[in-house]
Every structure is written in structure tokens, then in C-alpha cells.
Amino acid sequence: MKNIGIISLFLAIVVYSCGSVSFNMSGANFGAEKTCQVTYFENRAEKVNPRLAAQMTDALKDKIQSNSPLKLVNSNADVMFEGEITGYSVQSGQITAQNVAAEDRLTVTVKVKYTNSLDSENNYEKSFSRFQVFAGGTDLSSVENKLVDDILLELMEDIYNEAFAQW
């Protein structure tokens, strides 16, 4: 018991002498950046899901608000995300012995420009693409909302990590 008290005292001294300690489970790095702007992601894909542009923009805002200390603003931000949806397509995958697609794939591609006005070394302009597989022969409209939600979760993780975690 005496050792636990000594160890606790030692840890308290170390933590106090180091100033504030901050842990970030996402691995994200925020320097002096305090504000963020997300512009509307226009849908420029050949096939257009009419709700996708708003969903994409809102999903990125939500990701930033829930996973960073950044405040969303409409102008003059420290960091800014701009982009466009460049692809929205369905492809047939594996074909069965009966010449029917066993699975289909919905793919969404977005082009993102990230600008950090305080640290231009982290700026990027890059395309991100994610897909979800669904049973062949299934009417896309019956599964589309769920597929898009899942794809957007993955895309937001990719975009966020590229900007803030540099994994």
C-alpha cells in the first residue's frame, strides 16, 4: 500500500510539471487551428442521387463537429474543405452460372480540396472513393439509403484522417 501512495504522488508530480495533458484517441493533430469551413459539395457525377450533395456536406460537418475542437464558420476559416461528387455508379460484380450478377456494387467518388491557412504543408487535393456491395438483382432504390449512409461514413473517415491525422 505504501508503494501505491508513492507511485500516485510521483505520477501527480510528473503530470503537474508537464502542464496540461491532452489525449486524442483519433490521432488527429490540431495546432493553432480554431475554425473550419465546409463548402457545399456540388454533385457533378454522371448519375446523380439528388440527396447526396447535401448528405455529403452535412456528414463532413458532423464529423468535424463531433471529432474535433474546430468551430464551423461560413468564411475566413483557418481550415477549409471544398469539393465535388465526381462519381456515383453501380457495377455488376460476380456472375453466377445462370449468367446473373451475384452481387452489385455502389461506388461514390468525391474530389476534396483541403486548405489549411495556418499550415500549408498539410494542404491536399485528392479524390476519395468507397463502395458497398449488395445482392445482385436487388432493386437499388430498396437498399440505396443504407448503402449511401455506410459509404459516407467511410468517406468521412478518409477525408478527416487525411486532413488531421495524416495516416
User: DSSP E strands: which ranges in the chain?
Assistant: 35-38, 42-43, 71-72, 79-92, 103-116, 124-135
Contact 121, 79 (CB under 8 A): no
**Which domains does the chain carry?**
30-165 (3.30.160.150)
pLDDT for 3: 55
pLDDT for 53: 98
How would you write the pLDDT of the chain (167 residues) with one tens digit per residue?
Answer: 555 555 544 444 434 444 333 334 445 777 789 999 999 999 999 999 999 999 999 999 999 999 999 999 999 999 999 999 999 999 987 666 666 668 899 999 999 999 999 999 989 999 999 999 999 888 999 999 999 999 999 999 999 999 998 65
pLDDT for 1: 55
Centroid of chain to Cα 97: 39
Contact 13, 21 (CB under 8 A): no
